[in-house]
Amino acid sequence: MREPTPARPKAIRKDREPPKRSQDPDGTKRDILETASREFAMNGLSGARIDEIAARTKSSKRMIYYYFGDKDGLYLRALENAYRTVREGEAKLDTDGLPPREALRRLVEFTFDHHHEHEEFIRMVMIENIHHGQYLERSDVIRGLNVTAIDNIASIYDRGVAEGVFRPGLDPLELHWQVSALCFFNVSNRATFSKIFGRDIGAPAELARLRESSVEMVLRFVAA
């Protein structure tokens, strides 16, 4: 009797196969996220191409899909990473040991500088607003990160009220909104504002004045 022919193993999808072992998988992921952030910031979610991201990193499409699932998954991780970066920077300010006015000044200065130095963060937030925050809504990570931002500014504000230097009755979330609005606009509308009024808002001297005026406006807004 002839022995039965053994069944052939099912084919494995190539884009889901484990990537070749990397000597630095964490470094590879960081490289992919940083490159993806620039790609999404320049071209949006629909215009970004995984091929381009793979070509600019020491990876492949197969590796990107293995680590992040699909393009939507990569976009969400890049968005989370952008928020994580700004919140980690805030955490390093160590404002607890500063007088309230100085602590708030330092927070506004950091926010202004971070937004100026990370234009891709501003662009990604703008893109996510075009999508009505639907991807951000899926992320418990981002919600958790931004809770710490409100807790931080609330702590500074409450100390200022207790010391009599800040007026009572303000909502810390509203205060965070005002700080974000001033610093965000300096990047998001810089090009159009400069062209309309014929004045380079991105010039160093202009940025220095805008930075100081942003701080002054916030401090006057909260002053007792």
User: Where exactly are the structural domains of the chain?
Assistant: 13-69, 78-222
In three-state secondary structure terms, 205 is helix
**CA–CA gap between residue 114 and residue 91 (Å, rounded):** 13
- Please list, in sequence order, all residues whose beta carbon lies within 8 angstroms of the beta carbon of residue 32, skipping any fewer than 6 positions away: 53, 57, 59, 63, 64, 67, 68, 74
Mean pLDDT of 131-147: 91
CATH number of 78-222: 1.10.357.10
Give the pLDDT score at 23: 67
Residue 74: other Cβ atoms inside 10 A:
24
Furthest CA-CA distance within the chain: 98
Domains 13-69 and 78-222 share a fold: no
Q: φ, ψ for residue 141 (rounded to 5)?
A: -60, -50
Per-residue pLDDT at 80 exceeds 70 = yes
Mean pLDDT of 6-18: 46
CB 187 within 8 A of CB 122: yes
Ramachandran quadrant class, 103 (left: phi over 0; alpha: psi -120 to 50; beta: rest)? alpha
Mean pLDDT of 62-66: 92
Higher pLDDT, 81 or 22: 81
**CA–CA gap between residue 34 and residue 41 (Å, rounded):** 11
Q: What is the pLDDT of residues 18-57, one digit of tens each?
A: 455 456 788 889 999 999 999 999 999 999 999 999 999 8
Residue for token pair 């701080």? 215
**CA–CA gap between residue 54 and residue 34 (Å, rounded):** 12
Q: What is the pLDDT of residues 155-200, one digit of tens each?
A: 999 999 999 999 999 999 999 999 999 999 999 999 999 999 999 9
CATH number of 13-69: 1.10.10.60
Report the chain's mean pLDDT, rounded to a whole number: 89
